[in-house]
């Protein structure tokens, strides 16, 4: 068995969410080409419709007629964010400063994820948000007037800074945001593309609501976090060679390419181009017989936070000891990804030690047959399906949750198997 062929990656989930939110507060019509239609992004669309946004959906496009920055309407019932942390956290910024009270709710998993990390810095802009037990959904967003401020964030979080930027758009005075390091900058790039008064670097963002956003056509690139599963699959299945087309290559998302350089994997970037402020290209990845163990941590972690489970699997297939550290934020994703990755890889016979913020993993391991569990976390489910390429007798419980971000993952993976 080997993997061979070309995959058209699913559209980027992070960029799709942001395109929906920003189009909803722009003036006029936005045509969104190649958005991701998955559970989380459809949740965002449903909520925007509740807020009075005109949304037209076809098979491959979305058309949104925006309401302007401060014209979203009152909701008639609670806004259900489902399983989507991005939806909940960005809504907190989007709805702050409007003259209505909103209630945000989520499913059992989302209701266990911390929200104070967003609410605390938003309060510096005069946001009034009441959380359950001071940290969780349900949340009440109270009417208030946004005031500009200078905000320093203790950690690099794309969702937190995005919420602050969306709130700051309602204030004509400049808000300055200081950041400890790089994290996904899709919101900054997109706000600039839509005409916002914004300047930014990895450490500082300056933004105001002086300019109304103008609706524009935007095309969503492929999701590099989804690409990671195919990249690792091709590195651990002998004689594989695949091409991942239309892959987003934003430098704040390409931490996995840094890991590939570190381990000596063979890959090429083809057909690089800029699409709506985002770097895009095709990735050719080839099985590499001799790979070196890796150590990742520090500023690299925010650039690959969603890839932690699949990188842990990769480490089990490389001779020597690999270390993943400084990744404690992976504990507050759709599940505790550190704990649950550890439990699953241990069941498969891997030599793995769980750290408070990561793992120590010694390979190479021949994966054993066992029953494992995705814990209803889409990234874990997809990681385990890649592991199953090495042992078809692995049984995965709760493996339907891929639809959160990549409904066709299993189908696309099977297409590559020769």
| Catalytically active residues, by annotation | 306
Counted residue by residue, the chain has a size of 418
**Phi and psi (nearest 5°) for 57?**
-115, 130
Question: Does residue 303 contact residue 254 with C-beta atoms inside 8 Å?
Answer: yes
Instruction: Mark 260-271 as b/e (b = at least 16 C-beta within 10 Å).
Output: bebbebebeeee
Q: Which residue reads 């909701």 in tokens?
A: 75
64/78 Cα distance (integer angstroms): 22
Question: Does residue 219 contact residue 193 with C-beta atoms inside 8 Å?
Answer: no
Question: Does residue 247 contact residue 282 with C-beta atoms inside 8 Å?
Answer: yes
Q: Which two tokens stand for residue 220?
A: 């969503």
45/62 Cα distance (integer angstroms): 10
65/215 Cα distance (integer angstroms): 8
DSSP string, 119-131: HHHHHTTT--EEE
87/124 Cα distance (integer angstroms): 21
317: left (phi over 0), alpha (psi -120 to 50) or beta: alpha
Q: Which residue reads 């089990």 in tokens?
A: 316
42/371 Cα distance (integer angstroms): 31
Q: Which two tokens stand for residue 42?
A: 């459809």
């Amino acid at each position: 068995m080997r993997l061979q062929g070309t995959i058209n990656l699913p559209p980027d989930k992070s960029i799709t969410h942001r395109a929906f939110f920003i189009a909803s507060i722009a003036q006029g019509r936005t045509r969104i080409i190649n958005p991701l239609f998955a559970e989380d992004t459809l949740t965002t669309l449903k909520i925007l419709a509740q807020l009075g946004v005109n949304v037209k959906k076809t098979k491959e496009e979305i058309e949104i007629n925006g309401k302007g920055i401060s014209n979203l309407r009152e909701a008639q019932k609670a806004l259900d964010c489902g399983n989507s942390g991005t939806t909940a956290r960005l809504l907190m910024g989007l709805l702050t400063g409007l003259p209505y009270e909103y209630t945000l709710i989520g499913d059992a998993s989302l209701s266990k994820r911390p929200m104070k990390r967003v609410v605390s810095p938003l309060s510096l802009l005069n946001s009034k948000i009441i959380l359950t037990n001071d940290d969780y959904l349900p949340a009440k967003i109270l009417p208030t007037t946004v005031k500009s401020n200078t905000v320093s964030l203790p950690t690099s979080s794309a969702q937190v800074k995005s919420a602050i930027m969306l709130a700051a758009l309602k204030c004509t005075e400049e808000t300055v945001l200081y950041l400890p390091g790089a994290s996904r900058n899709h919101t900054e790039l997109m706000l600039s593309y839509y005409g916002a008064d914004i300047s930014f670097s990895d450490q500082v963002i300056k933004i105001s609501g002086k300019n109304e956003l103008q609706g524009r056509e935007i095309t969503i690139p492929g999701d590099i976090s989804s690409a990671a599963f195919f990249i690792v699959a091709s590195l651990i299945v002998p004689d594989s060679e695949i091409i991942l087309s239309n892959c987003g290559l934003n430098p704040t998302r390409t931490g996995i390419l840094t890991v590939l350089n570190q381990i000596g994997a063979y890959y090429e970037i083809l057909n690089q181009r800029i699409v709506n402020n985002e770097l895009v290209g095709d990735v050719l990845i080839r099985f590499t017989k001799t790979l070196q163990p890796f150590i990742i941590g520090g500023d690299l972690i925010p650039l690959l936070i969603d890839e932690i489970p699949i990188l842990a699997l990769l480490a089990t297939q490389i001779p020597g000891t690999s270390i993943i550290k400084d990744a404690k934020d992976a504990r507050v994703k759709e599940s505790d990804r550190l704990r649950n990755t550890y439990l699953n890889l241990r069941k498969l016979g891997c030599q793995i030690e769980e750290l408070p913020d990561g793992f120590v993993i010694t390979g190479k391991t021949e994966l054993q047959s066992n029953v494992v569990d995705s814990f209803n976390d889409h990234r874990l489910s997809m990681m385990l399906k890649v592991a199953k390429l090495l042992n078809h007798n692995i049984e995965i419980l709760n493996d339907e949750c891929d639809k959160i971000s990549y409904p066709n993952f299993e189908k696309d993976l099977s297409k590559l198997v020769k």
